[in-house]
């Protein structure tokens, strides 16, 4: 048994791996002095499935369903990034209509991810009701995506060269009805959450991240936008049909937890704008590229493709050795970089604040573990 003297001031506290606020199986080893954290050491890897190893043992097409399981909350963005990478390797041109359908579905999926985040995050902070509101709205989107793609969570909807199913009038009408419904709901969210004084006190000036830290830790997504850097791959490195749409990048001022919440909430409205414009401007034409080889064997080379997911930049680095299987696929996942700043910003905070900070990073642990 470990002997400890009375002068010993610190003790170790385990947050997780089965703590509700860790959103998956994440353990944070905390060294505490009273209620204050002296040192935080996240322990990841509980959900390591070896996606990158699987990639080397599968053909390009066989690896596609894996992409929906890396980050199951914004699966379509991961589908899209991987498809973009392989399309670049194969030099495939995706028809415009397919790009629009990709944008519409990826943005709907971003909404579901943000809804789940808002609901679960507020539950971490002790508010149960917003969770029910969020899941009510999220359910509507899931029904739409279910109608089109056939699944509700781990989507595998895009194909190399386009999309397999065209959207129809029912889907379009459903989208428009949903947009209208959600626009009327923002005021409810504002009254229920954003103006809630308990919520404000829990989040204002907590977990502040400076712009310098964003650069040093390679943060992306709402983490950097909350700190006032307007970095969004959809704008800064335009891909798919995004250049055709008019939307804004919401940014915060102080870089605290509250700003990251506000960025995500305002981003949802921008997603609605994108979907609306895409439905209005949807071009006619084919949804799949012509002449896609049956056996995919890209020439030797490497490619880096990046998309903006709900959590930040997802990069797919594919190295081809001219074989039917990839030589190496590195999945640059946003949560991995975003979580790596936790040991720095957790120091000198209370455990209750750590829960607020950890939630504001919006980690999806299986994505970090891969």
Partner 1 sequence: MLRDNIQKALAPLQLEQVAVGDYAKTGCHLDATAAPEQMPAVAEALLSLGCFLESLTCLHYPEHFTLVYHFANFQELCRLAVHVKVPFDQEAPSISHIYPGANWYEREAYDLYGIRFTGHPDLRRILLPFDADFHPLLKKFGESPADA
User: Which residues contact partner 1 by CB under 8 A?
Assistant: 44-45, 48, 50, 52-53, 56-57, 85, 88, 214-219, 224, 229, 231, 236-237, 301-306, 313, 315, 317, 319, 327-328, 330, 332, 336-337, 340-341, 344, 369-370
Across the beta sheet with 313-320, the strand order is 301-308, 313-320, 328-332
Helix (H, G, I), strand (E, B) or coil at 331: strand
Tokens coding 304? 């880096």
Least distance in angstroms from the C-beta of 225 to partner 1: 10
Nearer to partner 1, 281 or 328 (CB): 328
Least distance in angstroms from the C-beta of 24 to partner 1: 14
Question: Which of 197, 228, 199 is CA-nearest to residue 212?
Answer: 228
Least distance in angstroms from the C-beta of 153 to partner 1: 23
Nearer to partner 1, 319 or 350 (CB): 319
Q: Are 67 and 366 in contact (CB under 8 A)?
A: no
Backbone torsions φ then ψ of 322, nearest 5 degrees: 80, 25
Least distance in angstroms from the C-beta of 146 to partner 1: 33
Nearer to partner 1, 53 or 183 (CB): 53
Question: Which of 257, 251, 260 is CA-nearest to residue 208?
Answer: 257
Q: What are all long-range contacts of 318-326, with beta carbons under 8 Å and residues at least 24 apart?
A: 318/85, 318/86, 318/89, 320/89, 322/297, 322/298, 323/297, 324/59, 324/60, 324/295, 324/296, 324/297, 325/55, 325/56, 325/57, 325/58, 325/59, 325/60, 326/55, 326/56, 326/60, 326/63
Question: Which residue bears the tokens 């390591």?
Answer: 48
Nearer to partner 1, 32 or 319 (CB): 319
Least distance in angstroms from the C-beta of 185 to partner 1: 32
Least distance in angstroms from the C-beta of 89 to partner 1: 9
Burial status of residue 100 (CB atoms within 10 A of its CB: 0-12, 13-18, 19 or more): buried
Phi-psi region of 33 (alpha: psi -120 to 50; beta: other; left: phi over 0): beta
DSSP state of 159: B
Nearer to partner 1, 179 or 319 (CB): 319
Least distance in angstroms from the C-beta of 240 to partner 1: 14
Nearer to partner 1, 85 or 250 (CB): 85
Least distance in angstroms from the C-beta of 313 to partner 1: 7
Question: Which residue bears the tokens 């929906």?
Answer: 68
Angle (deg, nearest 10), helices 96-124 and 129-149:
160
Nearer to partner 1, 219 or 346 (CB): 219
Nearer to partner 1, 254 or 330 (CB): 330
């Amino acid at each position: 048994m470990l002997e400890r003297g009375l002068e010993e001031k610190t003790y170790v506290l385990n947050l997780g791996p089965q703590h509700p606020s860790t959103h998956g199986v994440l353990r944070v080893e905390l060294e505490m002095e009273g209620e204050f954290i002296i040192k935080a050491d996240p322990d990841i890897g509980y959900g390591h499935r070896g996606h990158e190893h699987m990639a080397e043992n599968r053909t390009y097409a066989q690896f596609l369903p894996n992409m929906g399981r890396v980050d199951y909350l914004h699966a379509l963005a991961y589908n899209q990034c991987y498809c973009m990478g392989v399309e670049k390797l194969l030099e495939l041109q995706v028809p415009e209509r397919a790009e629009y359908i990709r944008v519409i579905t990826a943005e709907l999926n971003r909404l579901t991810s943000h809804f789940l985040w808002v609901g679960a995050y507020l539950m971490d902070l002790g508010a149960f009701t917003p969770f029910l509101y969020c899941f009510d709205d999220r359910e509507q989107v899931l029904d739409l995506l279910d109608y089109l793609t056939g699944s509700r969570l781990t989507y595998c909807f895009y194909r190399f060269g386009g999309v397999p199913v065209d959207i129809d009038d029912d889907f379009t009408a459903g989208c428009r009805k949903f947009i209208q419904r959600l626009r009327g709901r923002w005021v409810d969210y504002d009254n229920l959450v954003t103006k809630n004084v308990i919520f404000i006190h829990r989040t204002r000036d907590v977990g502040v991240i400076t712009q310098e830290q964003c650069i040093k830790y390679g943060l992306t997504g709402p983490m950097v936008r909350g700190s006032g850097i307007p970095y969004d791959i959809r704008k800064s490195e335009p891909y798919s049909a995004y250049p055709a749409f008019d939307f804004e990048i919401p940014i915060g001022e102080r870089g605290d937890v509250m700003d990251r919440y506000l960025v995500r909430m305002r981003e949802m409205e921008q997603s609605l704008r994108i979907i609306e414009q895409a439905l209005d401007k949807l071009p006619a034409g084919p949804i799949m590229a012509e002449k896609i080889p049956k056996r995919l064997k890209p020439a030797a080379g490497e490619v880096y493709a990046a998309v903006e997911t709900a959590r930040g930049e997802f990069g797919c680095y594919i190295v081809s050795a001219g074989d039917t299987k990839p030589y190496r696929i590195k999945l640059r996942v946003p949560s991995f970089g975003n979580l790596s700043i936790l040991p720095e910003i957790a120091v000198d905070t209370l455990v209750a604040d750590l829960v607020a900070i950890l939630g504001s990073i919006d980690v999806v642990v299986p994505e970090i573990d891969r």
